[in-house]
Chain A
């Protein structure tokens, strides 16, 4: 009895600290779970294959998924506002083939690359205006964007076009090596986009407005935040990221192909969700999406190591997606009960 009295005021027990930590950082939990899954995957793959955690393999991970990282960052912004953008895969294909076509026509890369980024942003602007000013559901508006971009990709060219421009190929071929580690300009580009994304989302007014809109659009409007401008801009950013991903993918594959990226929008959404962003908006992290893409990339690499059917990637990603959605559902239900 006396012992109990003496120990109790000494400070909160571990259990209480845990509860406080959990309630304060509930939105971080899904991202922590993603990091944990990534570590478990890496370590178990290392035990299974022996040579998985090698500098070469991990460097390739970033190189192979650079375009997906960029798409996922753009998608994170859209999902944080509570929207969704289905057009990213098609826009990536369209801008990629546009770039290849312009370069093949002898237009210098200094003109072609801004042109593709602008056309990506323009499709994003179209979707944003439809969503914000015409009350179209994001799903339907971006669906129109998907159709438009996919069709335009085939209008540019019906078959793939090789890229021989040295400036674009430089993005892929250059390797900055440190020991066995290497980094390509495309990888650096992807990391820069992540860094910019983290900065914008966490430390700018624009970024905090995005979280406010995702939390409750009505409240954000009543607080006097620029809701309309922010929502349109979010889709423009996503379109811009898709354009940049088109450049990275074109450099990576050395060609533009109008059928590129069919279903990539699903991969990007899955990566964002696995990274801990909640699909109803208002909660999530750009850095989490990077983790999500890495989980995706590691699963793909493991399946390649295993020599199994590549189609298992999609199935496992689907299962992971389901797991995270259910976890999110539980978290949301808990926080609603607390209110």
Chain B
């Protein structure tokens, strides 16, 4: 039991399960999944489907945070990627054809990869602080997206493009497969090769890892490039869901939600050890919380208050000072107990063991 509580995924998973239980108690239909025309529907399926963009962004963010960095530009990259994809489809002759959509997808992802590499270049080669380096693109990116769409909200009708976010494959949303593939690829590359360990080494001590022969610059560069690519895919998903490229609203504050998901999952912002599974749980927790807030009848615009409270609670729980305070309180209480009731001493070990 103690080992289970000590496991680093224990608290994230407990939080998620608690949320699901509360939801199910409040509205039993939350847990139920109905099959309609061989496709699954239900609140849980919605959460899985809607979490796809955040999942992609948060995966990239996990890797970046592991290198002791941060990527603020993901929202802006999403906006650019959506704008590029929809502009390609809009200006082509056949918006409905599979080829057009494929070209749009490739161009959008390439542009995002370039933007991510730009961040990587600033951080790894020029040695600029990550917050500042990615701030440049966060600021300029939305401007670029607005230029691409000409200041308007580009809307298109293209069945294959719409399929990316809203289509179903073997009874499950297609978006779910995209995030599953992303999770699998990242987890395999990071955990089945030495890359994950090297990334953690860079995050724990960049200078020491460089002296130990780790190519820190390349790893940091790769982290930002990956984050950019994943954000680009998230942008495609987002624009496909609403079939519009809104440069101002796409991915607004998603960098903050992604960072929150990573922290909720138990990855420290100080870099180093990271957990992909934790991030996945963190994303689902955020999406479930959002669904809960909407169910409670709170306008979605007011939801940030709840997230602010969550952020404050999470950082307080992680705070070393609070740990010290709690430990002191606990030790004082046990000392008081010892002094006040010496007879109970024999009982104490039994309590601990249970």
Query: Which chain A residues have a beta carbon within 8 Å of chain B's beta carbons?
Result: 84, 130, 133-137, 139-141, 143-148, 150-152, 154-155, 158, 258, 262-263, 266, 269-270, 273, 279-280, 309-315, 317-319, 321-322, 325-326, 329
Question: Are B319's CB and A135's CB within 8 A?
Answer: yes
Query: Which chain B residues have a beta carbon within 8 Å of chain A's beta carbons?
Result: 70, 122, 126-129, 131-133, 135-144, 146-147, 150-151, 247, 252, 256, 259, 263, 269, 299, 301-309, 311-312, 315-316, 319-322
Question: Are B306's CB and A151's CB within 8 A?
Answer: yes
Question: Are A318's CB and B319's CB within 8 A?
Answer: no
Contacts of B303 in A (CB 8 A): 151
Question: Are A325's CB and B147's CB within 8 A?
Answer: no
Q: A102 CA to B140 CA in the complex, in Å? A: 36
Question: Are A321's CB and B136's CB within 8 A?
Answer: yes
Q: A148-B304, A155-B305 are in contact. Are A325 and B321 (CB under 8 A)?
A: no
Question: Are B143's CB and A152's CB within 8 A?
Answer: no
Q: A136-B315, A279-B129 are in contact. Are A147 and B142 (CB under 8 A)?
A: no
Pick from A145, A146, A273, A314: contact of B140, CB under 8 Å: A314
Question: Are B304's CB and A147's CB within 8 A?
Answer: yes
The residue in chain B whose Cβ has the minimal distance to the Cβ of A154 is B301
Q: Which 10 A-B pairs have the closest CB atoms?
A: A318-B140, A151-B305, A314-B143, A151-B304, A148-B308, A311-B146, A147-B308, A154-B301, A315-B143, A147-B304
Shortest Cβ gap from B119 to chain A (Å): 11
Shortest Cβ gap from A126 to chain B (Å): 8
Contacts of B256 in A (CB 8 A): 143, 146-147
Q: A312-B143, A315-B143 are in contact. Are A139 and B305 (CB under 8 A)?
A: no
Question: Are A134's CB and B305's CB within 8 A?
Answer: no
Q: A151 CA to B138 CA in the complex, in Å? A: 22
Q: A299 CA to B207 CA in the complex, in Å? A: 41
Pick from B126, B131, B133, B322: contact of A139, CB under 8 Å: B131
Q: A329 CA to B126 CA in the complex, in Å? A: 8
Question: Are B147's CB and A309's CB within 8 A?
Answer: yes
Question: Are B321's CB and A135's CB within 8 A?
Answer: yes
Contacts of A269 in B (CB 8 A): 135
Question: Are B302's CB and A143's CB within 8 A?
Answer: no
Question: Are B151's CB and A318's CB within 8 A?
Answer: no
The residue in chain B whose Cβ has the minimal distance to the Cβ of A269 is B135
Contact sample, A vs B, 15 pairs, CB 8 Å cutoff: A84-B131, A130-B316, A139-B131, A140-B259, A140-B315, A143-B256, A147-B256, A147-B308, A154-B301, A158-B301, A273-B132, A309-B151, A311-B143, A311-B247, A318-B136
